[in-house]
Amino acid sequence: QKEVEQNSGPLSVPEGAIASLNCTYSDRGSQSFFWYRQYSGKSPELIMFIYSNGDKEDGRFTAQLNKASQYVSLLIRDSQPSDSATYLCAVLAYNAGNMLTFGGGTRLMVKP
């Protein structure tokens, strides 16, 4: 079983819709959770992080964390074609150093 799991996609949504990206993790010691956006051939760009259970909103992005279910998600409202990219979920467990453990990423396609 992978430590951080994501559906590879592609996830296809129409422009203006809500895109929902999901991630599960296996290490219950995980304490910080990050979403990175990566355009093809570019660097992973940090777009959201969440440390506490519940929701965290930033503009069109909402991160949701449920530690009991070991589940973290990213919602993108009013999806735009420019949101088309691979979204990487990453997890940090302080008792395992400061390394990020990444999922394989979900490719999102927003169709005009």
Partner 1 sequence: EAGVTQFPSHSVIEKGQTVTLRCDPISGHDNLYWYRRVMGKEIKFLLHFVKESKQDESGMPNNRFLAERTGGTYSTLKVQPAELEDSGVYFCASSRNSYEQYFGPGTRLTVT
Extract the runs of DSSP E, i.e. beta strands, from the chain. Answer: 4-5, 11-14, 19-25, 32-38, 45-50, 54-58, 61-66, 71-76, 85-92, 95-98, 100-102, 106-111
Q: Is 77 in the site for partner 1 (CB under 8 A)?
A: no
Q: Is 99 in the site for partner 1 (CB under 8 A)?
A: yes
Q: Is 108 in the site for partner 1 (CB under 8 A)?
A: no
Q: Is 97 in the site for partner 1 (CB under 8 A)?
A: yes
Q: Is 32 in the site for partner 1 (CB under 8 A)?
A: yes
Q: Is 9 in the site for partner 1 (CB under 8 A)?
A: no
Q: Is 86 in the site for partner 1 (CB under 8 A)?
A: no
Rule CB under 8 A: choose which of 7, 17, 71, 104 binds partner 1. 104
- Give the number of other Cβ atoms within 10 Å of residue 87's Cβ: 25
Q: How many residues in the chain?
A: 112
| Residues engaged in binding partner 1 (CB under 8 A) | 2, 4, 32, 34, 36, 42-46, 49, 88, 90, 92, 97-105
